[in-house]
Structure 1
């Protein structure tokens, strides 16, 4: 009987300690809210400057900055444009994949929250640097949002969990 009570107390202590040490996603991640969107991103990432047109925000892993260029190589850029999703998507990739620097890996339809979206994943080679990019295109009213995840091809799969934090928490406000 005493042995059973001791085991129960030990289990209760373990549960109490485990409960005290767990962290919620909100404590581990930062949150961006602006321009009618909100999403979480990794706590060790930063808001970055983007040279891409129509950028709402860019977030990047500061550890991925290329010392020669000064640019992060692991980043997510979110853009907004007015227009029709399918026309913009088709026109964009007709131009990109006409360039030998771009090589399609996959494309398809996905659901992001309650929105149907298009996803396109591809390699892009810039000089001797090979990147893997995944773009998610979403139509909301008259506006098209693009979530572009980019990393070195050799690092992309390792960064997928960080990209998923952003994609899975992306929402309109």
Structure 2
């Protein structure tokens, strides 16, 4: 009887070990082979995951642009992207931002959903979230603006509505880790 009990405990332990191992393997994220990459341009240093890469920017003021690799189209533009821009401006920074978003509000496809002040790497910044429609595609955007040395910097995340929530963590990580030189 003792031998049967011992064998049963061994078999049950072995089965539980197998179940735990299979569960652990299944729980591993498909992104386990992702490494962090670094990009430095225009006074900014960012770290981003290797399933994102350099992409074409649609803005002439862009200093760098990255996109989720599987979202880059034939022209090199990412549909899920983060664009970094640097612009000269005159006058007060807040007035510049108010004028920028005042102009955007005139576009009927633009819908500002939130705005406020934030800190980026100990630098005072302004955050705007909004949606827009272009060529039948509705995108959500998150823009963070800050000023340094008389230049306006904006970090802009854009994605189709269906992909926004799944990828905004990359923008938030970069924002929390960005180095402003």
Partner of 1:93: 101
Partner of 1:114: 122
Partner of 1:103: 111
Of 147, 153, 174, the match for 1:166: 174
Of 44, 49, 55, the match for 2:51: 44
CA deviations 1:22-59 (Å, max 9, x no partner) are xxxxx821111122210111111111111202111000
Of 118, 129, 139, the match for 1:131: 139
Partner of 1:3: none
Q: Is 1:74 matched up with 2:74?
A: no
TM-score normalised by the chain length of structure 2: 0.75
User: Any conservation in 1 of the 2:141–2:156 contact (CA below 8 Å)?
Assistant: yes
Select the structure of larger CA radius of gyration: 2
User: Any conservation in 2 of the 1:60–1:76 contact (CA below 8 Å)?
Assistant: yes
Of 25, 30, 41, the match for 2:37: 30
State the secondary structure of the residue aligned to 2:78: coil
State the secondary structure of the residue aligned to 2:106: coil
Q: Distance in 2 between matches of 1:71 and 1:55?
A: 13
Q: Distance in 2 between matches of 1:126 and 1:70?
A: 18
Q: Is 1:62 matched up with 2:72?
A: no
User: Any conservation in 1 of the 2:56–2:78 contact (CA below 8 Å)?
Assistant: no
User: Any conservation in 1 of the 2:37–2:49 contact (CA below 8 Å)?
Assistant: yes
> Any stretches of 5+ residues in structure 1 without a counterpart?
1-26
- Root mean square deviation, CA, Å: 1.6
Q: Distance in 1 between matches of 2:56 and 2:71?
A: 14
